[in-house]
Every structure is written in structure tokens, then in C-alpha cells.
Chains A and B, each alone.
Chain A
Amino acid sequence: MQHVPGEDRGRVILYALSTCGWCARTKELLTDLGIGFSYVYVDLLGGEERDRVVREVERWNPRLSFPTVVINDAKVVVGFREDEIREAVGA
């Protein structure tokens, strides 16, 4: 999990694929908003780590699609939905 430093809006985690254009846009948006967040490219993981992270994503988004953004272990936004992401992080 990589961390991007920025303003603290709680625990913001982006589950992404390294090859996906919408995941890239989501990461750009969070970066531009200047908030602190962590991200992980699930396709680059292997073995047990990947299984563990996949289960983590499925808990929030059973379809296991990307990007999935989880905010404060409470809110989840699936897909690059700019307005919803802005609202969820209060930016």
C-alpha cells in the first residue's frame, strides 16, 4: 500500500488496477484534491497478499470492480464518480 501525503480527511483507501484508465483518473482526482490517501494496485500483488486484499475489496464491493474507494471504513464509492468521491471525502 502506497501513501500519498495530504490533508487528513480520515482513512481514504483507493483499490486500483495499474492498467485501468478510470483508476488513474481517480488517483489523479484524489491527488488534485490534496487529501492524504493510500492506494494499492491489486493486479500487481501476488499469492496470499493478493487473496487478502481481494477479500478486503469484496467486503466493500462484492463485484470486485475497480476503482473502489473506501472512506473511513464506512463509505464506499465504486467507479470514477467524481461528484460522489468529492462528497465522500468532503472536498
Chain B
Amino acid sequence: MAGDGEVDYFMRDLDREAEAGGYHLNPDREFTRGLVRGLLANRERYGYISCPCRLASGNREDDLDIICPCDYRDPDLFDYGACYCALYVTADVEAGMRAPDPVPERRPGPAERERQKKERAAAGAAPGDLKYPVWRCRVCGYLCARGEPPETCPICRVPRDRFERFM
């Protein structure tokens, strides 16, 4: 289990990255510290920081959509003021101007996820008449037109495999 020092260090890192990208960590420090501890526990047992509030399969490909920041963070921030586990909150929630709403689970079930995965694979294989394919970051929506997606999303810092073919 991660020690307090490691938890604080990782939390500072996450906070810095969040603020640089226009995102905010939950100001309830003790609650947030618990979530960060959960992220580190998941990194230790699965090899990646899957959502502390979701049951991971342990297979990275199947869990890709719930690796933090998850694919559902931004729509949940918009609709509820917090992401599903509440590690991230909106600016007004961070400022204490309002409390976040409870966030229902938005992640589709396994059958629907499988269908969406096939749909994405088909979109990626479709011939386009663009000079370059357009890639979309599934976490923050960043778009770029180039041969391959960037190694790291310049906006939200997730790795290449979180991108999908958009056009």
C-alpha cells in the first residue's frame, strides 16, 4: 500500500496537471486523498490507475475507458459538477459556490461497450478522402489531423490509446 508521502506527492502532481488543463481536484482534501490512495492501489495491482469507484477487470484494454481521467469525466462534470468518483469537480464546486449532484453510473454495460468498440474499429478502417485522418481524444475531445494520434494528449495528458478516429 502506498505511504502517505507517495499519496501526497501524487496528489500534488495530479493537482498541478489538472489546474494546467483547466480542471480542478475536489477541495475536500481528506476525501480526495482517499481517492488518490485508491488510484495508487489500482496502479499497484493492475498496472494502471483505473477509477477507484469502479470494478476493474484487470485487462487494460477492457478497462481503458475507466482509466483516470475516465472517458466519462467531462460529460459528468458538465451534468453534475463532479466526475463519478468525485476526484474532479467544476470550478464553482471547487469554489464552494454549490455542492455537486450525486453522479449516476454513465458507463455502458459490457455488451454495449463491445458494440461501441466494434463501431470505433469500423470508423478507423473506413476510407476517407481527407488528406489526414482526424483523431479525437475520448477523454477531453481534443481533435488533431495527422497520421497518428499524439503520444500524449496535449490537453488532458492521457496516452495515445485513448484516441479514436473521428473523421
Contacts and interface: CB of A to CB of B under 8 A. Distances in A.
B109 A19 contact: no
Contact of B55 (A21, A43, A79): A43
A55 to B, nearest CB: 13
Interface in A12-64: 17-24, 42-43, 54, 62-64
B52 to A, nearest CB: 4
B29 interface: no
Contacts of A72: none
A19 B104 contact: no
Given A79-B102, A79-B104, A20 B109 contact: no
A79 B85 CA distance: 11
Contacts of A22: 53, 85-86
Residue from the set B31, B38, B42, B86 with the largest chain A CB neighbour count within 10 Å: B38
Say whether chain A's binding surface is mostly helix, strand, loop, or mixed: loop
Interface range for A: 10 to 19
Interface size class of B (residues with CB under 8 A): 20 to 34
B105 A21 contact: no
A63 B105 contact: yes
A34 B111 CA distance: 40
B133 to A, nearest CB: 34
A19 B53 CA distance: 7
Nearest to A63: B105
7 contacts: A19-B53, A20-B53, A22-B53, A63-B109, A66-B53, A79-B104, A80-B102
